[in-house]
Chain A
Amino acid sequence: MYTQGLDQKGQPEPGRDAPETPEQLEAFQRRIDAEEKIEAKDWMPEAYRRTLIRQISQHAHSEIIGMQPEGNWLTRAPTLKRKAILLAKVQDEAGHGLYLYGACETLGVSRDQMVADLLSGKSKYSSIFNYPTVTWADIGAIGWLVDGAAIMNQIPLCRCSYGPYSRAMIRVCKEESFHQRQGYDIMVELCRGTAAQKAMAQDALERWWWPSLMMFGPSDSDSRHSAQSMAWKIKRFSNDELRQKFIDVTVPQAEFIGLTVPDERLQFDEDTGHYRHGEIDWQEFIDVISGNGPCNRQRIAKRRRAHDDGEWVREAARAYAQKHAARAA
Protein backbone atom coordinates (compact mmCIF):
# COMPACT_ATOMS: atom_id res chain seq x y z
CA MET A 1 0.00 0.00 0.00
CA TYR A 2 2.55 2.60 0.84
CA THR A 3 6.08 3.72 1.37
CA GLN A 4 7.00 6.92 3.11
CA GLY A 5 10.06 9.05 3.73
CA LEU A 6 10.11 7.95 7.34
CA ASP A 7 13.56 8.27 8.75
CA GLN A 8 14.77 11.40 7.11
CA LYS A 9 17.01 12.21 10.04
CA GLY A 10 19.56 10.28 12.01
CA GLN A 11 20.56 7.85 9.26
CA PRO A 12 24.21 7.31 8.41
CA GLU A 13 25.56 9.56 5.71
CA PRO A 14 25.26 7.79 2.37
CA GLY A 15 28.54 6.32 1.22
CA ARG A 16 30.45 7.22 4.36
CA ASP A 17 32.13 3.86 4.76
CA ALA A 18 31.88 2.78 1.14
CA PRO A 19 35.05 1.65 -0.64
CA GLU A 20 33.79 2.72 -4.06
CA THR A 21 36.05 4.54 -6.52
CA PRO A 22 34.95 7.80 -8.17
CA GLU A 23 35.12 6.03 -11.55
CA GLN A 24 32.66 3.35 -10.42
CA LEU A 25 30.31 5.94 -8.99
CA GLU A 26 30.44 8.02 -12.17
CA ALA A 27 29.81 4.99 -14.37
CA PHE A 28 26.86 4.06 -12.17
CA GLN A 29 25.42 7.57 -12.34
CA ARG A 30 25.81 7.54 -16.14
CA ARG A 31 23.67 4.39 -16.31
CA ILE A 32 21.06 6.02 -14.10
CA ASP A 33 21.10 9.23 -16.15
CA ALA A 34 20.63 7.17 -19.32
CA GLU A 35 17.48 5.70 -17.71
CA GLU A 36 19.02 2.22 -17.63
CA LYS A 37 17.47 -0.04 -15.00
CA ILE A 38 19.77 -1.46 -12.35
CA GLU A 39 19.33 -5.18 -11.80
CA ALA A 40 20.01 -7.31 -8.75
CA LYS A 41 23.50 -8.54 -9.61
CA ASP A 42 24.72 -5.29 -11.16
CA TRP A 43 27.34 -3.26 -9.36
CA MET A 44 25.76 -0.54 -7.24
CA PRO A 45 27.03 1.88 -4.61
CA GLU A 46 26.56 0.58 -1.08
CA ALA A 47 24.51 3.66 -0.19
CA TYR A 48 22.14 3.01 -3.11
CA ARG A 49 21.69 -0.56 -1.88
CA ARG A 50 21.07 0.56 1.70
CA THR A 51 18.63 3.25 0.67
CA LEU A 52 16.63 0.74 -1.34
CA ILE A 53 16.69 -1.89 1.40
CA ARG A 54 15.39 0.69 3.85
CA GLN A 55 12.69 1.98 1.52
CA ILE A 56 11.49 -1.35 0.09
CA SER A 57 11.45 -3.14 3.44
CA GLN A 58 9.51 -0.25 5.04
CA HIS A 59 7.15 -0.39 2.13
CA ALA A 60 6.67 -4.17 2.57
CA HIS A 61 6.13 -3.77 6.32
CA SER A 62 3.52 -1.08 5.63
CA GLU A 63 1.55 -3.51 3.48
CA ILE A 64 1.66 -6.15 6.20
CA ILE A 65 0.79 -3.84 9.11
CA GLY A 66 -1.80 -2.18 6.84
CA MET A 67 -3.83 -5.38 6.97
CA GLN A 68 -4.63 -4.74 10.64
CA PRO A 69 -6.80 -1.60 10.55
CA GLU A 70 -8.88 -3.10 7.75
CA GLY A 71 -8.87 -6.63 9.11
CA ASN A 72 -10.54 -5.09 12.15
CA TRP A 73 -13.77 -4.79 10.10
CA LEU A 74 -13.74 -8.15 8.33
CA THR A 75 -16.08 -9.78 10.82
CA ARG A 76 -18.29 -6.69 11.04
CA ALA A 77 -18.66 -5.64 7.40
CA PRO A 78 -22.26 -4.53 6.85
CA THR A 79 -23.07 -7.03 4.08
CA LEU A 80 -21.69 -10.27 2.69
CA LYS A 81 -20.72 -8.42 -0.51
CA ARG A 82 -18.71 -5.82 1.44
CA LYS A 83 -17.11 -8.58 3.49
CA ALA A 84 -16.02 -10.51 0.38
CA ILE A 85 -14.59 -7.31 -1.17
CA LEU A 86 -12.73 -6.36 2.00
CA LEU A 87 -11.33 -9.87 2.33
CA ALA A 88 -10.00 -9.68 -1.23
CA LYS A 89 -8.47 -6.28 -0.52
CA VAL A 90 -6.75 -7.42 2.67
CA GLN A 91 -5.44 -10.46 0.80
CA ASP A 92 -4.04 -8.10 -1.85
CA GLU A 93 -2.18 -6.20 0.87
CA ALA A 94 -0.53 -9.44 1.95
CA GLY A 95 0.35 -10.08 -1.69
CA HIS A 96 1.84 -6.61 -2.04
CA GLY A 97 3.94 -7.23 1.04
CA LEU A 98 5.22 -10.45 -0.51
CA TYR A 99 6.08 -8.85 -3.88
CA LEU A 100 8.05 -6.23 -2.00
CA TYR A 101 9.83 -8.59 0.39
CA GLY A 102 10.82 -10.58 -2.72
CA ALA A 103 12.14 -7.44 -4.45
CA CYS A 104 14.07 -6.45 -1.33
CA GLU A 105 15.66 -9.88 -0.96
CA THR A 106 17.35 -9.39 -4.34
CA LEU A 107 19.47 -6.74 -2.60
CA GLY A 108 20.99 -9.35 -0.31
CA VAL A 109 18.88 -9.02 2.84
CA SER A 110 17.01 -12.09 4.08
CA ARG A 111 13.27 -12.28 4.68
CA ASP A 112 13.89 -13.43 8.23
CA GLN A 113 16.07 -10.40 8.88
CA MET A 114 13.42 -8.02 7.58
CA VAL A 115 10.70 -9.67 9.67
CA ALA A 116 12.95 -9.56 12.74
CA ASP A 117 13.62 -5.85 12.17
CA LEU A 118 9.90 -5.12 11.96
CA LEU A 119 9.10 -7.08 15.11
CA SER A 120 11.93 -5.50 17.08
CA GLY A 121 10.84 -2.00 16.05
CA LYS A 122 14.14 -1.34 14.28
CA SER A 123 12.43 -1.05 10.92
CA LYS A 124 9.56 1.39 10.45
CA TYR A 125 6.32 1.35 8.50
CA SER A 126 3.99 4.05 7.24
CA SER A 127 2.63 6.36 9.96
CA ILE A 128 -0.91 6.06 8.61
CA PHE A 129 -1.46 2.55 9.96
CA ASN A 130 -1.10 3.72 13.53
CA TYR A 131 -4.55 5.30 13.43
CA PRO A 132 -7.59 3.28 14.54
CA THR A 133 -10.55 2.24 12.38
CA VAL A 134 -13.45 3.03 14.70
CA THR A 135 -16.38 2.99 12.25
CA TRP A 136 -17.22 1.23 8.98
CA ALA A 137 -16.78 4.57 7.18
CA ASP A 138 -13.08 4.36 8.07
CA ILE A 139 -12.80 1.44 5.66
CA GLY A 140 -14.20 3.70 2.95
CA ALA A 141 -11.87 6.54 3.94
CA ILE A 142 -8.81 4.26 3.92
CA GLY A 143 -9.55 2.94 0.44
CA TRP A 144 -10.33 6.37 -0.95
CA LEU A 145 -7.71 8.51 0.80
CA VAL A 146 -4.94 6.21 1.98
CA ASP A 147 -4.87 4.06 -1.15
CA GLY A 148 -5.38 7.22 -3.20
CA ALA A 149 -2.30 8.76 -1.63
CA ALA A 150 -0.46 5.48 -2.13
CA ILE A 151 -1.27 5.45 -5.84
CA MET A 152 0.01 9.02 -6.18
CA ASN A 153 3.28 7.93 -4.67
CA GLN A 154 3.57 4.52 -6.31
CA ILE A 155 2.90 5.43 -9.93
CA PRO A 156 6.24 7.27 -10.21
CA LEU A 157 7.90 4.35 -8.38
CA CYS A 158 6.96 2.14 -11.37
CA ARG A 159 9.77 4.04 -13.14
CA CYS A 160 12.22 3.64 -10.26
CA SER A 161 15.79 2.90 -11.37
CA TYR A 162 15.93 -0.42 -9.53
CA GLY A 163 14.39 -3.08 -11.80
CA PRO A 164 12.93 -5.49 -9.21
CA TYR A 165 11.31 -2.62 -7.24
CA SER A 166 9.92 -1.06 -10.39
CA ARG A 167 8.41 -4.37 -11.54
CA ALA A 168 6.85 -5.01 -8.12
CA MET A 169 5.35 -1.52 -8.20
CA ILE A 170 3.81 -2.08 -11.63
CA ARG A 171 2.09 -5.16 -10.26
CA VAL A 172 0.94 -3.32 -7.13
CA CYS A 173 -0.39 -0.32 -9.08
CA LYS A 174 -2.55 -2.56 -11.26
CA GLU A 175 -4.30 -3.79 -8.14
CA GLU A 176 -4.39 -0.55 -6.19
CA SER A 177 -7.04 1.06 -8.36
CA PHE A 178 -9.56 -1.54 -7.17
CA HIS A 179 -8.68 -0.60 -3.60
CA GLN A 180 -9.30 3.07 -4.12
CA ARG A 181 -12.54 2.58 -6.02
CA GLN A 182 -14.02 0.19 -3.48
CA GLY A 183 -13.23 2.79 -0.79
CA TYR A 184 -14.87 5.64 -2.67
CA ASP A 185 -17.82 3.34 -3.41
CA ILE A 186 -18.32 2.86 0.34
CA MET A 187 -18.22 6.65 0.85
CA VAL A 188 -20.69 7.25 -2.00
CA GLU A 189 -23.12 4.75 -0.55
CA LEU A 190 -22.89 6.28 2.94
CA CYS A 191 -23.36 9.78 1.54
CA ARG A 192 -26.49 8.69 -0.33
CA GLY A 193 -27.85 7.05 2.84
CA THR A 194 -29.40 8.43 6.01
CA ALA A 195 -28.21 11.61 7.72
CA ALA A 196 -26.45 9.44 10.30
CA GLN A 197 -24.62 7.49 7.59
CA LYS A 198 -23.51 10.67 5.88
CA ALA A 199 -22.33 12.07 9.21
CA MET A 200 -20.30 8.89 9.68
CA ALA A 201 -18.62 9.46 6.30
CA GLN A 202 -17.88 13.10 7.17
CA ASP A 203 -16.42 12.07 10.52
CA ALA A 204 -14.14 9.54 8.83
CA LEU A 205 -12.93 12.14 6.33
CA GLU A 206 -12.17 14.52 9.20
CA ARG A 207 -10.06 11.94 11.01
CA TRP A 208 -8.21 10.58 7.94
CA TRP A 209 -7.60 13.75 5.91
CA TRP A 210 -4.56 15.13 7.73
CA PRO A 211 -2.89 11.78 8.42
CA SER A 212 -3.30 11.00 4.69
CA LEU A 213 -1.47 14.22 3.79
CA MET A 214 1.32 13.23 6.18
CA MET A 215 1.78 9.97 4.25
CA PHE A 216 3.82 11.89 1.67
CA GLY A 217 6.48 12.48 4.28
CA PRO A 218 8.08 15.67 5.58
CA SER A 219 7.97 18.91 3.70
CA ASP A 220 10.68 19.25 1.04
CA SER A 221 12.66 21.70 3.16
CA ASP A 222 13.02 19.05 5.91
CA SER A 223 13.52 15.98 3.75
CA ARG A 224 17.16 15.06 3.93
CA HIS A 225 17.44 12.05 1.63
CA SER A 226 15.28 13.44 -1.14
CA ALA A 227 18.01 15.02 -3.27
CA GLN A 228 20.10 11.83 -3.40
CA SER A 229 17.05 9.65 -4.07
CA MET A 230 16.08 11.97 -6.91
CA ALA A 231 19.59 11.83 -8.39
CA TRP A 232 19.44 8.02 -8.25
CA LYS A 233 15.96 8.12 -9.80
CA ILE A 234 14.52 6.11 -6.94
CA LYS A 235 12.26 9.07 -6.39
CA ARG A 236 10.84 11.12 -9.26
CA PHE A 237 8.81 13.82 -7.51
CA SER A 238 9.29 15.61 -4.22
CA ASN A 239 7.06 14.94 -1.20
CA ASP A 240 5.38 18.34 -1.54
CA GLU A 241 4.74 17.91 -5.27
CA LEU A 242 3.01 14.57 -4.70
CA ARG A 243 1.03 15.94 -1.76
CA GLN A 244 -0.19 18.86 -3.90
CA LYS A 245 -1.28 16.49 -6.68
CA PHE A 246 -3.19 14.41 -4.18
CA ILE A 247 -5.01 17.42 -2.75
CA ASP A 248 -5.85 18.71 -6.23
CA VAL A 249 -7.52 15.48 -7.32
CA THR A 250 -9.13 14.58 -3.98
CA VAL A 251 -10.90 17.81 -2.98
CA PRO A 252 -13.31 17.68 -5.97
CA GLN A 253 -14.03 14.02 -5.14
CA ALA A 254 -15.05 15.05 -1.61
CA GLU A 255 -17.22 17.87 -2.96
CA PHE A 256 -18.88 15.50 -5.42
CA ILE A 257 -20.35 13.43 -2.60
CA GLY A 258 -21.14 16.48 -0.45
CA LEU A 259 -18.35 16.05 2.11
CA THR A 260 -16.29 18.90 3.54
CA VAL A 261 -12.50 18.67 3.73
CA PRO A 262 -11.53 19.66 7.30
CA ASP A 263 -9.22 22.54 6.36
CA GLU A 264 -10.53 26.08 6.87
CA ARG A 265 -7.71 27.52 4.83
CA LEU A 266 -8.29 25.28 1.83
CA GLN A 267 -8.81 27.50 -1.19
CA PHE A 268 -8.57 27.05 -4.93
CA ASP A 269 -5.98 29.35 -6.44
CA GLU A 270 -7.19 30.38 -9.91
CA ASP A 271 -3.73 31.61 -10.92
CA THR A 272 -1.83 28.41 -10.22
CA GLY A 273 -4.69 25.96 -10.75
CA HIS A 274 -3.85 24.35 -7.40
CA TYR A 275 -5.51 24.25 -4.01
CA ARG A 276 -3.77 26.13 -1.24
CA HIS A 277 -3.99 24.29 2.06
CA GLY A 278 -3.48 24.90 5.76
CA GLU A 279 -0.43 23.96 7.83
CA ILE A 280 0.16 20.29 8.54
CA ASP A 281 0.71 19.43 12.19
CA TRP A 282 4.22 18.04 11.81
CA GLN A 283 4.52 17.47 15.54
CA GLU A 284 1.76 14.87 15.25
CA PHE A 285 3.66 13.22 12.37
CA ILE A 286 6.86 13.11 14.41
CA ASP A 287 5.00 11.68 17.40
CA VAL A 288 3.40 8.94 15.32
CA ILE A 289 6.59 7.84 13.57
CA SER A 290 8.45 7.95 16.87
CA GLY A 291 6.11 5.29 18.25
CA ASN A 292 3.55 7.44 20.03
CA GLY A 293 0.60 7.36 17.65
CA PRO A 294 -2.79 6.05 18.78
CA CYS A 295 -2.09 2.40 17.83
CA ASN A 296 1.68 1.90 17.44
CA ARG A 297 2.10 -0.50 20.35
CA GLN A 298 -1.07 -2.39 19.50
CA ARG A 299 0.02 -2.90 15.88
CA ILE A 300 3.43 -4.32 16.72
CA ALA A 301 2.08 -6.43 19.58
CA LYS A 302 -0.49 -7.94 17.24
CA ARG A 303 2.11 -8.61 14.53
CA ARG A 304 4.39 -10.31 17.10
CA ARG A 305 1.49 -12.41 18.34
CA ALA A 306 0.55 -13.42 14.78
CA HIS A 307 4.18 -14.36 14.11
CA ASP A 308 4.39 -16.45 17.28
CA ASP A 309 0.99 -18.05 16.71
CA GLY A 310 2.09 -19.03 13.20
CA GLU A 311 5.17 -20.86 14.39
CA TRP A 312 3.43 -24.25 14.62
CA VAL A 313 2.23 -23.84 11.01
CA ARG A 314 5.76 -23.11 9.78
CA GLU A 315 7.06 -26.02 11.82
CA ALA A 316 4.40 -28.37 10.45
CA ALA A 317 5.16 -27.32 6.87
CA ARG A 318 8.87 -27.97 7.40
CA ALA A 319 8.18 -31.36 9.01
CA TYR A 320 5.83 -32.32 6.16
CA ALA A 321 8.42 -31.32 3.55
CA GLN A 322 11.17 -33.25 5.33
CA LYS A 323 9.00 -36.37 5.68
CA HIS A 324 8.10 -36.36 1.99
CA ALA A 325 11.67 -35.70 0.94
CA ALA A 326 12.81 -38.64 3.09
CA ARG A 327 10.17 -40.96 1.56
CA ALA A 328 11.12 -39.96 -1.94
CA ALA A 329 14.80 -40.64 -1.25
Chain B
Amino acid sequence: MSNDQWPLYEVFIRSKSGLNHKHAGSIHAADDQMALDAARDTYTRRNEGVSIWVVRSSQIVASDPAENAAFFEPAEDKIYRHPTFYEMPDGVENL
Protein backbone atom coordinates (compact mmCIF):
# COMPACT_ATOMS: atom_id res chain seq x y z
CA MET B 1 0.00 0.00 0.00
CA SER B 2 1.32 3.37 -0.96
CA ASN B 3 2.40 5.53 1.92
CA ASP B 4 1.82 8.79 0.05
CA GLN B 5 -0.23 11.35 1.89
CA TRP B 6 -3.85 11.78 0.91
CA PRO B 7 -4.55 14.40 -1.74
CA LEU B 8 -5.12 17.99 -0.68
CA TYR B 9 -8.57 19.53 -1.12
CA GLU B 10 -9.58 23.18 -0.92
CA VAL B 11 -12.76 23.80 1.05
CA PHE B 12 -15.39 26.40 0.13
CA ILE B 13 -18.34 27.14 2.39
CA ARG B 14 -21.63 28.94 1.82
CA SER B 15 -22.40 30.39 5.24
CA LYS B 16 -26.09 30.94 4.44
CA SER B 17 -28.41 30.88 1.46
CA GLY B 18 -27.98 33.96 -0.67
CA LEU B 19 -24.23 34.28 -0.08
CA ASN B 20 -21.33 33.03 -2.18
CA HIS B 21 -19.24 30.04 -1.29
CA LYS B 22 -16.04 31.35 0.26
CA HIS B 23 -12.66 29.68 0.65
CA ALA B 24 -12.31 28.36 4.23
CA GLY B 25 -9.06 26.40 4.14
CA SER B 26 -7.86 22.99 3.09
CA ILE B 27 -7.91 19.38 4.25
CA HIS B 28 -6.41 16.06 3.19
CA ALA B 29 -8.71 13.14 2.34
CA ALA B 30 -8.51 9.82 0.54
CA ASP B 31 -11.50 10.53 -1.72
CA ASP B 32 -14.17 13.11 -2.49
CA GLN B 33 -16.79 11.88 -0.03
CA MET B 34 -14.30 11.64 2.81
CA ALA B 35 -13.13 15.14 1.87
CA LEU B 36 -16.67 16.45 2.35
CA ASP B 37 -16.99 14.71 5.71
CA ALA B 38 -13.62 15.99 6.89
CA ALA B 39 -14.43 19.51 5.68
CA ARG B 40 -17.69 19.41 7.64
CA ASP B 41 -15.96 18.26 10.83
CA THR B 42 -13.07 20.69 10.45
CA TYR B 43 -14.77 23.87 9.23
CA THR B 44 -18.43 23.74 10.31
CA ARG B 45 -18.48 22.62 13.94
CA ARG B 46 -20.57 25.69 14.84
CA ASN B 47 -23.09 25.88 12.01
CA GLU B 48 -20.77 27.96 9.85
CA GLY B 49 -22.23 26.57 6.65
CA VAL B 50 -25.28 25.37 4.72
CA SER B 51 -23.29 24.07 1.75
CA ILE B 52 -19.74 22.86 1.22
CA TRP B 53 -17.70 22.50 -1.96
CA VAL B 54 -14.45 20.58 -1.95
CA VAL B 55 -12.11 20.52 -4.91
CA ARG B 56 -8.75 18.86 -5.38
CA SER B 57 -6.14 21.58 -4.98
CA SER B 58 -4.30 20.17 -7.99
CA GLN B 59 -7.37 20.96 -10.12
CA ILE B 60 -7.31 24.67 -9.39
CA VAL B 61 -5.89 26.92 -12.09
CA ALA B 62 -4.52 30.10 -10.55
CA SER B 63 -3.07 33.34 -11.85
CA ASP B 64 0.54 34.03 -11.01
CA PRO B 65 1.00 36.96 -8.58
CA ALA B 66 4.42 37.69 -10.12
CA GLU B 67 2.58 38.47 -13.38
CA ASN B 68 -0.07 40.63 -11.74
CA ALA B 69 0.97 43.87 -13.39
CA ALA B 70 0.70 42.50 -16.93
CA PHE B 71 -2.23 40.20 -16.21
CA PHE B 72 -4.49 42.89 -14.78
CA GLU B 73 -3.15 45.67 -17.02
CA PRO B 74 -6.17 45.63 -19.40
CA ALA B 75 -8.36 46.97 -16.59
CA GLU B 76 -5.91 49.69 -15.60
CA ASP B 77 -6.45 52.20 -18.42
CA LYS B 78 -10.21 52.08 -18.83
CA ILE B 79 -11.33 54.64 -16.32
CA TYR B 80 -14.38 55.34 -18.50
CA ARG B 81 -15.81 52.10 -17.09
CA HIS B 82 -16.46 53.88 -13.82
CA PRO B 83 -19.46 56.19 -13.41
CA THR B 84 -17.27 58.84 -11.78
CA PHE B 85 -15.53 59.36 -15.17
CA TYR B 86 -18.56 61.29 -16.43
CA GLU B 87 -19.25 64.78 -15.24
CA MET B 88 -22.95 65.54 -15.27
CA PRO B 89 -24.16 69.08 -15.96
CA ASP B 90 -25.53 70.99 -12.96
CA GLY B 91 -29.26 70.79 -12.62
CA VAL B 92 -29.82 67.39 -14.19
CA GLU B 93 -31.29 64.88 -11.74
CA ASN B 94 -31.70 61.12 -11.22
CA LEU B 95 -28.43 60.23 -12.95
| Chain A residues positioned under 8 Å from B2 (CB to CB) | 318
Of the stretches B27-35, B75-83, B85-93, the one at the interface is: B27-35
Inter-subunit contact A317/B27 (CB<8 Å): no
Check A324 against B31 for contact (C-beta < 8 Å). yes
Query: B6 within 8 Å of A by Cβ?
Result: yes
B66 CB–A CB distance under 8 Å: yes
Q: Is the CB of B31 within 8 A of A105?
A: no
Minimum CB–CB distance for A85 against chain B, Å: 13
CA separation between A270 and B31, bound complex, in Å? 61
Min C-beta distance of B45 to chain A, whole Å: 6
Judging by beta carbons under 8 Å apart, are A317 and B28 in contact? no
**A303 CB, nearest partner CB in chain B, Å:** 17
- Interfacial residues of chain A within 162-177, with CB under 8 A of chain B in the complex: 167-168, 171, 175
Taking a contact as CB atoms under 8 Å apart, the answer to whether B34 and A175 are in contact is no
**A98 on interface, CB distance cutoff 8 Å:** yes
Residue B62 at the chain A interface, CB threshold 8 Å: yes
How long is the Cα–Cα vector from A43 to B41 in the complex, in angstroms? 33
Q: Which chain B positions have C-beta within 8 A of A318?
A: 1-2, 6, 30
Which partner residue on chain B sits nearest A97 by CB separation? B42
Asked whether any CB of chain B lies closer than 8 Å to the CB of A99, the reply is: yes
Q: Which A89-103 residues sit within 8 Å CB-CB of chain B?
A: 91-92, 95, 98-99, 102-103
Q: Is the CB of B65 within 8 A of A103?
A: no
Q: Does B64 belong to the interface (CB within 8 Å)?
A: yes
Chain B interface residues (CB < 8 Å from chain A):
1-2, 5-6, 8, 25-28, 30-31, 34, 41-42, 45-46, 62, 64-66
